[in-house]
Amino acid sequence: MPPLTQRLTLRLALENAPGMLARVTGVLEACGAELLATQRTDEQRHVVFRDVTVEVRDDAHGDAVAAALVEAEGVEVLSILDDVLAAHEGGKIRVELTRDVRGPQDLSLVYTPGVAKVCQLIAEDPVAAYRFTIRSNSVAIVTDGSAVLGLGDIGPLASLPVMEGKAMLLKSFGGVDAYPILVDEQDPDAFVDTVARIASGFGGINLEDIAAPRCFEIEGKLRQRLDVPVFHDDQHGTAVVVLAALMNAARVVDRELTSLRVVVQGVGSAGVAIVNLLRAAGITDIVPVDVDGILEPRRRGMDPIRRRLARQVNPRQLTGGKEVALRDADVFVGVSGPDSLPLELVQAMAPDRIVFALANPTPEIHPDLAREHVRVMATGRSDFPNQINNVLCFPGLFRGLLDAAATAVTDEMKVAAAAGIASIVGDDLAPDYVVPSPFDRSVVPVVAEAVAATARAQGHVRPGSSGSRDSESQAALHEAARRAVKRAVAARFAGEPGRSVPSSDD
């Protein structure tokens, strides 16, 4: 049965008589709903008003619960509030100021005429924008709405609540100011052109919910054109957390990470990224499979992405279906579909099996079915141990990229992020604890520092920015500021008799 994932608050008018609350809880229990909270809000002579918050499976289940309460004697349902819709009322993000505008002096500082000084400074030295504007802490969350969560191609406007949620997480966890950008464009080149034209105001680009294979082309072209990090989280965020979990799972089974035989089921955007990042981490025996079987160079009918991947993996040159791939494999990573991994194929794997069944909401194999046959089990769900959740990656990763004023995202930075996530588990490592909770406050700073340090070590930072500033570049920035001041003063005093313009050394 699907889990209880939807929350409703029902406002009830109950007959003012003993046992009425028990009657309500009995109805909820009979319907399979879970009572989360109840609050008495008002009372009249013959009626007691209560708000009852319950958890249900879906809309249909909620309707059934409400209908059952309507039929209960002495119970009237006054209203039903969907807590999800209530949480989105009016949107979930807004712009806030870093300082107030209280009078003419403030106005002259933050707008005209004072703002001209900053504009002139940036015109002469664009790196100054990282110090004097929001660019140093801003990320664009860009989507075309073509592959939204489990909803598919719903278009950019309908995807806005998801983008707002992503912006909330970046701000709440990483302190990053993120802005949803909806691009109503299906042509990859036109999409790339649009993003490239608006990119100068941002320190990073987060691509979100863009369908494969278009997402690969878009990300690749944007990386070539832009001098800020471009990161498709649906691909690489999942891959980073999978690698982090696998690093610790290897410790659980006392194996070297690079010695593991890995099968990746599902060759969409996340599957391709997982394969590539595992390779970057040194794992060589990786066998990707899709609905048509093992990817191998001689297989016909593959798209260019699969053909290229097939030439890079499968060193034992296996052919056939996933039953061949899984025989004596150490690790299964599923980013495919529900109930697609039979138990007998798990049992055919090598001892000390590691299974990451990440399909949502129904995994490739249910943890209760697989648990006694595996050493480490992970899913994408929060109601089981070892949740593979992108929130472990993207807030800290973007925090580190912005702190370093990075100009790109590399595989080495992603591996460093994974190692940072894995390190937080430390001595508490256990089969049911190979990744930390997203709410562990140490995750973001550890990941951010790992990413920023790697960016600096690789030289992928913007010279003269706050993230990479040394004494020489700082002096250059101050000199540029002095030149801008001189121009502003010259413009102000131009044509006034008896006034001289200060020299740059004054």
* Amino acid making up residue 328: D
Task: Specify the pLDDT at position 504.
Answer: 36
3-state secondary structure 137-204: HEEEEEECCCCECCCECCCCCCCHHHHHHHHHHHHHHHCCEEEEEECCCCCHHHHHHHHHHHHHHCCE
Q: Are residues 204 and 271 in the same domain?
A: no
353-373 residue pLDDT tens: 999 999 998 999 999 999 999
Q: How far apart, in whole angstroms, are the C-alpha atoms of residue 352 and residue 329?
A: 10
* Structure tokens belonging to residue 144: 């075309």
Q: In this structure, are 337 and 262 located in the same domain?
A: yes
Residue 310 pLDDT > 70:
yes
- Residue 449 burial (10 A CB sphere; 0-12, 13-18, 19+): middle
**Predicted local confidence at residue 496, as pLDDT:** 41
CA pair distance 184, 346, nearest whole angstrom: 43
Q: How confident is the model at residue 469 (pLDDT cuts 50, 70, 90)?
A: very low
Q: How far is CA 3 from CA 84, 250, 413, in A?
A: 16, 30, 36
Q: How deeply is 456 buried, as exposed, middle or buried, from its count of CB atoms within 10 A (0-12, 13-18, 19+)?
A: middle
CA 346 to chain centre: 30
Domain count, the chain: 3
User: Domain check: are 62 and 182 in the same one?
Assistant: no
DSSP assignment of 281-323 equals: TT--EEEEEETTEE--TT-SS--HHHHHHHHHS-TT---S-HH
Q: Residue 5's pLDDT is what?
A: 81
Q: Verify that 84 and 167 share a domain, yes or no.
A: no
Q: Give the domain range for residue 223.
A: 128-228
Q: How high is the pLDDT of residue 484?
A: 42
Is 280 in the same domain as 211? no
Indicate whether 492 belongs to any domain: no
Residue 76, domain member (yes or no): yes
pLDDT-based confidence at residue 465 (cuts at 50, 70, 90): low
Q: What is the pLDDT of residue 466?
A: 57
Q: How many helices (H) and strands (E) does the chain have?
A: 19, 14
Q: What is the largest CA-CA distance in the chain?
A: 94
218, HSE (Cβ side, Cα atoms, 13 Å): 30
Clarify whether residues 338 and 440 are in a common domain. yes
What token pair was written down for 18?
């003993």
Residue 208 domain flag: yes
Find the CATH number of the domain harbouring 167: 3.40.50.10380
Q: Is 221 in the same domain as 242?
A: no
Strands 261-265 and 285-290: parallel
Residue 480 has pLDDT above 80, yes or no: no
- What CATH number corresponds to the domain at position 77? 3.30.70.260
My answer on whether 418 and 336 are in the same domain is yes
Q: How far is CA 375 from the centre of its chain?
A: 28
Q: H/E/C letters for each residue in 94-119?
A: CCCCCCCCCCHHHHHHHCCCCHHHHH
Q: Note whether 224 and 243 are same-domain residues.
A: no
Catalytic residues: 111, 166
Is 494 part of any domain?
no
**Does residue 320 sit within a domain?**
yes
Q: Does 317 lie in the same domain as 396?
A: yes
In a domain, 489, yes or no: no
End-to-end CA distance of the chain: 77
Phi, psi angle pair for 499, to nearest 5°:
-110, 135
Identify which of 86, 106, 85 has the alpha carbon closest to the alpha carbon of residue 97: 106
pLDDT in tens, 25-61: 999 999 999 999 999 999 888 899 999 999 999 999 9
Q: Nearest CA to 277 among 457, 471, 380, 416?
A: 416
Q: Are 170 and 402 in contact (CB under 8 A)?
A: no
Specify whether the CB–CB gap between 21 and 38 falls below 8 A.
Answer: yes
